[in-house]
Amino acid sequence: MRFALTHTADLAGLTSLDAFSHVDEDTVFGALDEAGRMVSEVIAPTNRDGDTIGSTLVDGAVVTPDSFKKAYGELVAGGWAGVKFPAEWGGFGFPRVVGTALMEMITTANMAFSLCPMLTHSAVEALLAHGSDEHKAVYLEKLVTGEWAGTMHLTEAQAGSDVGALTSKAVPAGDGTWRVTGQKIFITFGDHDLTPNIIHFVLARTPDSPPGTKGISLFLVPKFLVDDDGTIGEPNDVTTVSTEHKLGIHGSPTCVMSFGDSGEGAVGYLVGEENGGMRAMFTMMNDARVAVGLQGLAISERSYQQAVTYAEERRQGRAVGADPTESSPIVDHPDVRRMLMTMKSTIEAMRALIYLNAASIDRAHSGSSDAEQARGSRLADLLTPISKGWGTDMGVELTSIGIQIHGGMGYVEETGSPQHFRDARIAPIYEGTNGIQAIDLVMRKLPMDGGDFVRGFIDELHDVARELDDQGMEEIGRPLAAGLVALREAVDWLLACDDVNDRLAAASPFLRMAGVVIGGALLGQQALAAAAAGDSAKVATARFFARQVVPTVGGLIPAVTAGAGDLFAIDPTDLGG
């Protein structure tokens, strides 16, 4: 994590910006060391409780495991909830990428638990960008510090991922407030007992609004109304109907929420402009998408740590050259070592990608020039769907490898390994399925600046490959260069393709290509720094990824350029047999 912050995110460059002039690297690493102790001692032990006890609905209210309450209390008491937010609202004012590193720790410790602060962070982003001064004064500091929690309410049963089909309503009450009615599903931490108040951010339609996404507005709907003196007042008309029984993340309550069951509607406050809800919600969604990509990284890291420990301790068979009278640790067998190196190298590539993404958002907001801010914004736009899509796909694949390393014991719940796989499986689905991320990448992000931005970024990564060659690390540089050529070929094909269905058919294999190649190039960049520092293990990790993972993207070129014909060659009625 330190290496990625230093050599990929350029933490020193970030802390030299005016916005972060009160922060230096020693302060950041000291804070993360302290956070690491708290997370490992307080939050990590709650992971098993979250899975076996879970969060349950009792008499209309969600009850979390007792260990969650203690851990959340310490998270708030230590000020960790507000690390990346402005000091004027109770935060530390650190760069966003430092908050990302902290969230990696929290999520690795307990993914289900981490969803509560994660969504609260997204609520803070929405208020900072779109909230009125009045609403900021009432709610913002409570959310920044984590004293209150926040949620996102998008999905409805009939709409699914088609947000424009939602039917929840909001009507003006004549006093500046609105009355919100409707029902939402799949609401993470929609209710819980970790905080005394929960601030819901709800998408709804106002009277006479246009159809589709252009007619959606965003409303702040507190679980409890807030009195003029800032204290918690009467309950709002918000009901928890039920909680879902899920494959994983059992400690995170996934709720069906209803507004306005008891009267005219729940009291809500418009956030941003009427019919501007999607713009405001995407502020939350983009923050959450990077955080969800981070979940793929974090849960893979936990699975890997456990797999390494097991492989070092478990003895079975005899490795080549081993004492014939003793069984060898399975870590000495080449196939087990391949699985471990696949996990290790991919995790480090994911971390580099996601940290660069977060640092790019920092520069988009706080860069020292218009040009730096513009580049940061475009790079963040490009990397966000890759971070979310590739990061969470890899989370599922790597936690599956973690089970495989355990052999038969990996399929036994008592080892804890299956939980990582089960927990990881939701991440490719929520905050916009990975298919939606891939479509966003090829339809919106690649065409930025007529395709010049993505082509220029690939050229920058080619410079890394050339420098690796110049420094005598051709075994890393050459496969990276080949991968970048393949990626450029795919980009050029997509940008030249006029058939929308063909581009959509290419989206998912292209996103995987982009994740692997960009992640590999960032590892190559780290290898240059590692070689200068004498860190042979990191160089070897980058070399493994470059030689054994990056070449797989060549096989994806035919899938990218095949078009949609084969996908629709069979009539839907014939798909079943």
**Which pLDDT value is given to residue 426?**
97
Side-chain half-sphere CA neighbours of 439 within 13 A:
9
**Which pLDDT value is given to residue 161?**
66
CA angle at 137 for the pair 132 and 140, rounded to the nearest 5°: 90
Q: In the predicted model, is pLDDT for residue 139 greater than 90? A: yes
Share of the chain above pLDDT 90, in %: 93
Name which of 183, 223, 237, 240 is nearest 61 in CA terms: 240
Instruction: Name the band, by pLDDT with cuts 50, 70 and 90, for residue 281.
Output: confident
Residue 107 to residue 396: CA distance in whole angstroms: 15
**Which pLDDT value is given to residue 287?**
80
**Which pLDDT value is given to residue 307?**
98
Q: Which tens digits make up the pLDDT trace of 290-338?
A: 999 999 999 999 999 999 999 999 999 999 999 999 999 999 999 999 9
Q: Which two tokens stand for residue 25?
A: 């690297």
**Which pLDDT value is given to residue 520?**
98
Q: In the predicted model, is pLDDT for residue 274 greater than 90? A: yes
Q: Which whole number is the average pLDDT over 384-390? A: 98
Residue type for position 174: G
Answer yes or no: are the C-beta atoms of 564 and 504 closer than 8 Å.
Answer: yes
Q: In this structure, what DSSP letter does residue 210 have?
A: P
Answer yes or no: are the C-beta atoms of 486 and 558 closer than 8 Å.
Answer: no
The rounded mean pLDDT for the chain is: 96
**Which pLDDT value is given to residue 577?**
67
Q: In the predicted model, is pLDDT for residue 559 greater than 70? A: yes
- Classified as helix, coil or strand, 292 is helix
Domain 2-144 homologous superfamily, CATH: Acyl-CoA dehydrogenase/oxidase, N-terminal domain (1.10.540.10)
Domains of the chain, residue spans: 2-144, 149-275, 442-577
- Number of Cβ atoms within 10 Å of the Cβ of 229: 6
**Which pLDDT value is given to residue 427?**
97
Q: In the predicted model, is pLDDT for residue 162 greater than 90? A: no
- Classified as helix, coil or strand, 102 is helix
Residue type for position 442: V
Radius of gyration of the chain (CA): 24
Q: Which whole number is the average pLDDT over 185-211? A: 95
Residue 200 to residue 197: CA distance in whole angstroms: 10
* Contacts of residue 234, Cβ cutoff 8 Å, sequence gap at least 6: 224, 225
**Which pLDDT value is given to residue 436?**
95
Instruction: Name the band, by pLDDT with cuts 50, 70 and 90, for residue 488.
Output: very high
**Which pLDDT value is given to residue 19?**
96
* Contacts of residue 316, Cβ cutoff 8 Å, sequence gap at least 6: 327, 328, 330, 407
Q: Which whole number is the average pLDDT over 554-575? A: 94
DSSP 167-180: --EEEE-SSS-EEE
Answer yes or no: are the C-beta atoms of 72 and 91 closer than 8 Å.
Answer: no
Q: In the predicted model, is pLDDT for residue 202 greater than 70? A: yes
Q: Computed from CA positions of residues 409, 414, 420, 421, in that sequence, does the dihedral angle turn out positive or negative?
A: positive
Residue 354, burial from CB neighbour count under 10 angstroms (0-12, 13-18, 19+): buried
**Which pLDDT value is given to residue 136?**
96
How far out from the chain centre does Cα 46 lie? 21
Q: Which two tokens stand for residue 385?
A: 């769907």
Residue 60 to residue 113: CA distance in whole angstroms: 21
- Classified as helix, coil or strand, 455 is helix
274 catalytic? Reply is no
Q: Which tens digits make up the pLDDT trace of 42-92?
A: 999 999 999 999 999 999 999 999 999 999 999 999 999 999 999 999 999
Q: Which among 125, 156, 348, 431 is annotated as catalytic?
A: 431
Side-chain half-sphere CA neighbours of 448 within 13 A:
19
Residue 98 to residue 92: CA distance in whole angstroms: 10
Q: Which whole number is the average pLDDT over 224-240? A: 96
Answer yes or no: are the C-beta atoms of 486 and 557 closer than 8 Å.
Answer: yes
Name which of 273, 282, 271 is nearest 201 in CA terms: 271
Q: Which whole number is the average pLDDT over 487-504? A: 97
**Which pLDDT value is given to residue 478?**
98
**Which pLDDT value is given to residue 165?**
76
Residue type for position 427: A
Residue type for position 129: A
**Which pLDDT value is given to residue 118?**
95
Residue 416 to residue 163: CA distance in whole angstroms: 36
Q: Which whole number is the average pLDDT over 336-344? A: 98
Q: In this structure, what DSSP letter does residue 274 have?
A: T
E strand or H helix that includes residue 511: helix 500-533
**Which pLDDT value is given to residue 489?**
97
By residue count, the chain amounts to 577
E strand or H helix that includes residue 434: helix 434-440
- Classified as helix, coil or strand, 497 is coil
| CATH of the structural domain 149-275, one choice from 3.80.10.10, 1.25.40.10, 2.40.110.20, 3.40.50.720 | 2.40.110.20
Residue 411 to residue 434: CA distance in whole angstroms: 27
Q: Which whole number is the average pLDDT over 172-179? A: 96
Q: In the predicted model, is pLDDT for residue 493 greater than 70? A: yes
Torsions phi, psi for 202 (to 5 deg): -120, 130
